Amino acid sequence: MTMESGKRITAVVKVGTSSITDEQGVIDASLVAKLCDEVADLRRQGHWVVVVTSGAIAAGLPDLGLGGEKRPRDAVTLQAVSAVGQGNLIGTYQRELARHDLVVGQVLLAPLDFFVRAQYLHARGTLTRLLELGVVPVVNENDAIADDEIRFGDNDRIAALVAHLVEADVLVLLTDTPGLLTADPRLDADASLIEEIIEIDHELERLAGEGGSVRGSGGMASKLAAAKIASWSGVRTVIADARRSGVVIDACGNTPGVGTVVRARDGRLSARRLWIAFAVGSSGRIQVDAGARRAMEERRVSLLPAGVVGVSGPFDVGDAVEVVDPDGAVFAKGIVRHDARLLQANLGARTSELPEGMSHEVINADDLVVLP
């Protein structure tokens, strides 16, 4: 997708905490202004832009005298801090975009907004209407009331799911590095930029490692995870340096060397399947025989108790679990209809042998995602 085609593109641009604040957690208005200038350039060209921003917690710390080494670690205090900081954060975006006669619409989302269909449709309708009205939606996770067990924790994944929500053409993940590098530049002076990724595999995930600054919660690993979600949504992703001049314009225009580009896959998963595959954690594992794996991969059928040979983890009804083959390799993920104890007691049972009232499906086909 290039902007020379004359077609309106829809871009989701995510910026992390470390890219818009200083070491004390204070919002750096000049960095937000740079981003807003580039967003305004896209809007003048007739394109739609959704900004996904982190920074509410970091922005609230100075007002409460909790910056630097005084930063709290408990979830309740951090949620309270985010309630203070969110106003500061959105106010900065409003001021900077107002210089370009653009209106901001604040949208605070939670994981269930992508999982519960009614909420998903409401969120999609609101974001789409805001874009139609010429508004720049500025999205953040609703940190102040988020359930710590199901919250995203970083905005990379929420940006990827927003890209699915608005059927974006490109997801731009802005960070403080040029993109994904071949090695840690602090340890290897010859580290170079990986300019294009066709498929995210385990080796790339290992290379990304773990990361994140004190002020933020995401690192390169979370960006690759988000890029994988976007790829399965049919959305191209660009991971690039927020400080680079014209980075948003270049990323949307597919300028060579702008950062690391992750190609979109053919096809598009539903929002529910995306959630199951990438956004919700696994509570256990179900091991199946070779025949069950073959049926699930080739015919996309439901998993039945007859194909189950092992269970691990204390999962309950409605939890997400990984599905592994006889060798222990994960090849699918789904939402279970039985708890671990009941399933363990009925391993390999045919439908006619199941206790009265027990569902004949362990994982329904609609709740099952076969992974690459």
Count of beta carbons in the 10 Å neighbourhood of residue 122: 12
DSSP code at position 250: H
All structural domains of the chain with their residue ranges: 3-273, 281-370
**Do the beta carbons of residue 145 and residue 109 sit within 8 Å?**
no
Please return the burial class of 188, using the count of CB atoms within 10 Å of its CB with bins 0-12, 13-18 and 19+: exposed
Tens of pLDDT, residue by residue over 302-341, are 999 999 999 999 999 999 999 999 999 999 999 999 999 9
Residue for token pair 């949504």: 233
DSSP 89-110: HHHHHHHHHHTTT--EEEEEE-
Query: Residue 320 corresponds to which tokens in the numbers above?
Result: 């997400």
Express each pLDDT in 147-199 by its tens digit.
Answer: 654 456 568 989 999 999 999 999 999 998 899 988 877 788 888 999 999 98
CATH number of 281-370: 2.30.130.10
Q: At what angle do helices 220-232 and 155-165 cross, to 10 degrees?
A: 20
How many Cβ atoms sit within 10 Å of the Cβ of residue 46?
Answer: 11
Ramachandran angles phi, psi of 353, nearest 5°: -95, -5
Q: What is the DSSP string of 328-352?
A: --EEEEEE-SS-HHHHHTTTT--GG
DSSP string, 214-238: SS-S--HHHHHHHHHHHHHTT-EEE
**Any residues with CB less than 8 A from the CB of 167 and at least 6 apart, and which?**
10
Q: What's the CA gap between 163 and 345, in Å, rounded?
A: 42
Which tens digits make up the pLDDT trace of 123-151? Answer: 999 999 999 999 999 999 887 877 654 45
Q: What is the pLDDT of residue 5?
A: 58
pLDDT bin (cut points 50, 70, 90) of residue 204 is confident
Percent of the chain residues topping a pLDDT of 90: 64
pLDDT score for 147: 64
Cα–Cα distance for residue pair 297/360, rounded to 1 Å? 19
pLDDT on residue 215: 41
Termini Cα distance of the chain: 25
Encoding tokens for residue 139? 């999205």
Q: Could you tell me what percent of the chain has a pLDDT over 70?
A: 93
Predicted confidence band of residue 1 (pLDDT cuts 50, 70, 90)? very low
Q: Where in 132-235 does DSSP place strands (E)?
A: 136-141, 170-175, 196-197
Confidence (pLDDT) at 335 = 95
Residue 74 has pLDDT above 80, yes or no: yes
pLDDT of the residue at 3: 58
Quick check: 212 and 153 in contact, CB under 8 A? no
The mean pLDDT value for 39-49 works out to 97
pLDDT digits (tens, 9 = 90+) for 215-237: 444 478 889 989 999 999 999 99
Query: From edge to edge, which strands make up the β-sheet containing 285-288?
Result: 308-312, 285-288, 320-324, 330-335, 368-370
- pLDDT confidence tier of residue 2, bands split at 50, 70 and 90: low
Instruction: Check residue 102 and give its pLDDT.
Output: 98
Helix (H, G, I), strand (E, B) or coil at 116: coil
Dist CA 357 CA 355 (whole Å): 6
User: Positive or negative CA dihedral for 284, 290, 296, 298?
Assistant: positive
What does the pLDDT look like over 342-362, one tens digit per residue? 999 999 999 999 999 899 999
Q: 286 and 336 in contact (C-beta within 8 Å)?
A: yes
Helix (H) or strand (E) holding 56: helix 56-60
Distance CA 221, CA 154 (A): 11
The CATH T-level fold of domain 3-273 is Carbamate kinase (3.40.1160)
Nearest one of 271, 275, 268 to 335, comparing CA atoms: 275
Q: List the structure tokens of 194.
A: 């990986």
Average pLDDT score, the chain: 89
**Average confidence (pLDDT) over 245-264:** 95
Q: What is the pLDDT of residue 217?
A: 42
- Asked whether 61 and 214 are in contact (CB, 8 A), the reply is no
Residue 24 has pLDDT above 80, yes or no: no
Better-scored residue on pLDDT, 318 or 208: 318
C-alpha closest to that of 224 among 194, 195, 262: 262
Distances (CA, A) of 315 to 52, 226, 334, 344, 354: 33, 26, 12, 11, 20
Residue type, 346: N
List, in order, residues 6 or more apart from 194 with CB less than 8 Å away.
179, 180, 181, 182, 260
